[in-house]
Chains A and B, each alone.
Chain A
């Protein structure tokens, strides 16, 4: 089954404790991206990647890191989480950016205390 998977689905952590949210897709897509979704603000893009070893900042990259060592994986790293990073995070992938269908993962709900 073609899908985007994220782990964990739910995470409660404390300020400053490094964490990684994994994202994996099995569709051989070049383009992957991370979004955060907050009430009244919609989805805001954090980082995106056009292909392996190519990553770019989106709208709200501060406090986040990503890597794209393999085509299928695109982990999101919070080196020192803060409470304002409490949010719902989505990973997405598509063949190419722009007009192509983006497939979204199920989301990761993060609470930073």
Chain B
């Protein structure tokens, strides 16, 4: 059982569409991170959220951390083919030094 559940597992959309992917858990986290991974490469950090209810924007990407710090969402507006990749959420529990990753959402944006 994954500590962090990501949904959907796969998502294929047309260029220009909006989408939201989710990262959920029953545990409370001190911080949560979103990464994007492209084929043949390691994950690259997009954002870190720390405060419950926090919203961060990175161009067309909007990240939200749930009020209870148990879940997060990533919303992409007007998706582009360059957004294609595997989106991973990762979190560290309070008083814990190891980082846990979700299984990821594989996004394909078709031109």
Interface residues of A (CB under 8 A from B): 4, 33, 35, 40-45, 48, 50, 56, 58-59, 90, 92, 97-99, 101-102, 104-107
Contact = CB atoms under 8 A, between A and B. Distances in A.
B92 A97 contact: yes
Interface of B: 2, 4, 6, 9, 30-31, 33, 40-45, 48, 50, 88, 90, 92, 97-104
Contacts of B50: 99
Contacts of A33: 98-99
A107 B97 CA distance: 22
List of 9 A-B pairs having minimum Cβ-Cβ separation, nearest first? A104-B42, A42-B103, A43-B101, A99-B31, A42-B101, A98-B92, A101-B45, A97-B97, A58-B98
Contacts, number: 67
A56 B45 CA distance: 23
Contacts of A104: 42-44
Contact of B92 (A4, A56, A99, A106): A99
Nearest to B9: A40
Contacts of A43: 43, 88, 90, 101
A43 to B, nearest CB: 4
Contacts of B41: 106-107
A35 B101 contact: yes
B103 A45 contact: no
A59 B100 contact: yes
Nearest to A42: B103
A49 to B, nearest CB: 10
Contact of B99 (A41, A102, A105): A102
Contacts of A45: 98-101
A100 to B, nearest CB: 8
A64 to B, nearest CB: 14
Nearest to B31: A99
B90 to A, nearest CB: 7
Contacts of B40: 106-107
Nearest to B49: A99
Contact of B103 (A40, A58, A105): A40
Contacts of A40: 9, 103
